Chains A and B, each alone.
Chain A
Amino acid sequence: MSTPRRWIAALAILALAACSHQPPYALHDISGLLPPLQFQLTDDNGRPVTAQSYRGDIVLLYFGYTNCPDVCPTTLAMLAQALRGLGQQASKVRVLFVSVDPHRDSAALMKRYVGYFGPQFVGLRGPDSELIPLTRRYRVAFHRDAPDQYGNYAVEHSSAVFIFDRRGRVRLLASSSDGAAAVTTDLRRLVASS
């Protein structure tokens, strides 16, 4: 039943946007399209964490796995470059890398992996009973292929980076094709505005 109210809100935002001379974000603006950040997982130090643990920071949420051959390292490297571009403000940003392959991605492995990209990167993992509610909440898919004779397998997953403001509200959506410069520009605006 919130749909009409949502439309009114969307119209109001459009009207406001028409008045102020704010240029649109470089990334996809998805404000209000997805629910606020909420999860229950374990971080790469083995501590249980929730979305509350990161309130007050700009949060970038990304799904992947450490054995990922291409998309994950490319996207995380792009995000690392974007954060370097932020300078001092990067301390107000957290990148949460959620494993879709918790069976192989131990906490220690995750910690070492995200360490390559920077101090703002946190590896999160949890059993499917915690992971699937989160992927469903943000409407992303993942699929583990059948293992080969050596037990290796690939995981199909999303390429989306969901960006939340300090109050945990969803704001922007980026993907690896957007480029670090666009992410830096938009993150700077988000840090300044919230």
Chain B
Amino acid sequence: MSKVLSDLAYLAPWDWSPTVESVCLVMAVLYVRGLLAARREQDMHCGFWRPFSFGLGLLLIYGSLQTYFDYLSQHMFWVHRLQHLALHHLGPFFMVVAAPGPALLRGVPLRWRAGLSRLAQWPGLRTALALLLRVLRNPYLAGALFVGLVYFWLIPSVHFSAMLDINRYRLMNWGMAVDGLLFWWLMLTPRRAQGAAAIAYGPRITVLIVSGFLQLFLGAFIVMYPKELFNVYGICGRVWAISPMVDQQIGGCLTWIPTAMMSLAGVLVVIHHMLRDAAQAEGARGGRVLARGPLPAPLVAGP
């Protein structure tokens, strides 16, 4: 029993953050409320895999920030790379691919929804949002930000200070999660669900491939660099005895292979949207359906 309890202690947050806790909790509650409402009124079918994917993504982000895993990430380079893989790639990817927007919106209590839509009508906010969207919807800027953040925090002196100063460390991890959600939302959401901010599919594929290659280069560079790049782990102590070079090489591999794979997975999702949109357009025109066989199933069902 005490063994179980002491194992459970690993699930307790190392660096307890009320902000992370409440943001994750609010998202989970809204989503579950939305799903339940949809089931009650039987007007929105989410199936099993979409909620599963959203929950998995949210759990990955929460778990990598608010458990003992965060302690390991602060003291082992390769665990730190794994943490960023979860925060920047896997977590946001799985959340976005589940198209959680309609369910989340549905989970907002009716009273708040009225308030929210009044807030959205406020001209100042509308202009600010439109302006922000105009900047953010540039796929090349989104890609540059996505890859730029990875490079920036891996500049050895910047990395050194982030691993000492807890505020910079938090800023780094928040930035990774928020930018991850933004990037994958811009890349993976079907055009019709993006409204005014819709990005064409061609540029998305370009951005995904180029950003994949840029991360691949960085990972390969770290793996093959013959000297220790990030001495802060040695100075502040590692959790297990592992040679600094092995730590660096495993971390480099994690920067290299899974990230490039996620870019490819992203390309596949975009191609899926392209085929689906093309088939739908054909259907709407009443013309001959080009693709033989059934329509591709909706990866992301619209509201």
Write the residues of chain A forming the contact surface with B, with a CB cutoff of 8 angstroms: 2-3, 6, 28, 30, 32-34, 63, 139-143, 156-160, 173, 175
Chain B 237-273 interface mask (CB, 8 Å, partner A; 1/0):
1111100000000000000000000000000000000
Contacting residues, chain B, for A157 (C-beta < 8 A) = 237
19 A-B pairs with CB atoms under 8 Å apart are A2-B167, A3-B167, A33-B168, A34-B164, A139-B74, A141-B75, A141-B236, A141-B237, A141-B239, A143-B239, A143-B240, A156-B238, A156-B240, A156-B241, A157-B237, A158-B235, A159-B234, A160-B236, A173-B235
B237 lies within 8 A of A142 (CB): yes
Interchain CB contact (< 8 A) of B237 among A30, A32, A158: A158
With contact pairs A3-B168, A3-B171, A159-B234 given, residues A139 and B239 touching in the complex (Cβ less than 8 Å): no
Contacting residues, chain A, for B235 (C-beta < 8 A) = 158-160, 173, 175
Chain B 218-241 interface mask (CB, 8 Å, partner A; 1/0):
000000000000000011111111
Contacting residues, chain A, for B164 (C-beta < 8 A) = 30, 33-34, 139, 173
B37 at the A interface (CB under 8 A): no
A140 lies within 8 A of B237 (CB): yes
Sample of 15 further A-B pairs with CB below 8 A, known A34-B165, A139-B163, A158-B235: A3-B167, A28-B160, A33-B161, A33-B168, A34-B164, A63-B237, A139-B164, A139-B166, A140-B236, A142-B237, A143-B237, A157-B237, A159-B234, A159-B237, A160-B236
For the complex, what is the distance from the CA of A140 to the CA of B240, rounded to whole Å?
13
For the complex, what is the distance from the CA of A159 to the CA of B232, rounded to whole Å?
10
In the complex, how many angstroms separate the beta carbon of B203 from the nearest chain A beta carbon?
33
The interface residues of chain A, by DSSP majority, are classed as loop
For the complex, what is the distance from the CA of A142 to the CA of B237, rounded to whole Å?
6
The interface residues of chain B, by DSSP majority, are classed as helix
For the complex, what is the distance from the CA of A143 to the CA of B237, rounded to whole Å?
9
Contacting residues, chain A, for B160 (C-beta < 8 A) = 28
Interchain CB contact (< 8 A) of A141 among B161, B165, B167, B238: B238
B237 lies within 8 A of A156 (CB): yes
In the complex, how many angstroms separate the beta carbon of A152 from the nearest chain B beta carbon?
15
Contacting residues, chain B, for A160 (C-beta < 8 A) = 235-237
For the complex, what is the distance from the CA of A143 to the CA of B234, rounded to whole Å?
14
For the complex, what is the distance from the CA of A28 to the CA of B164, rounded to whole Å?
12
B236 lies within 8 A of A158 (CB): yes
For the complex, what is the distance from the CA of A28 to the CA of B232, rounded to whole Å?
11
Closest to A30 in B: B164
Task: Point out which of B71, B167, B168, B236 has the most chain A C-beta atoms below 10 A from its C-beta.
Answer: B236
For the complex, what is the distance from the CA of A74 to the CA of B165, rounded to whole Å?
27
Contacting residues, chain A, for B165 (C-beta < 8 A) = 32-34
Contacting residues, chain A, for B167 (C-beta < 8 A) = 2-3, 6
In the complex, how many angstroms separate the beta carbon of B155 from the nearest chain A beta carbon?
15
For the complex, what is the distance from the CA of A141 to the CA of B167, rounded to whole Å?
18
In the complex, how many angstroms separate the beta carbon of B97 from the nearest chain A beta carbon?
32
Contacting residues, chain A, for B236 (C-beta < 8 A) = 139-141, 158, 160
In the complex, how many angstroms separate the beta carbon of B281 from the nearest chain A beta carbon?
48
Closest to B74 in A: A139
For the complex, what is the distance from the CA of A143 to the CA of B164, rounded to whole Å?
19
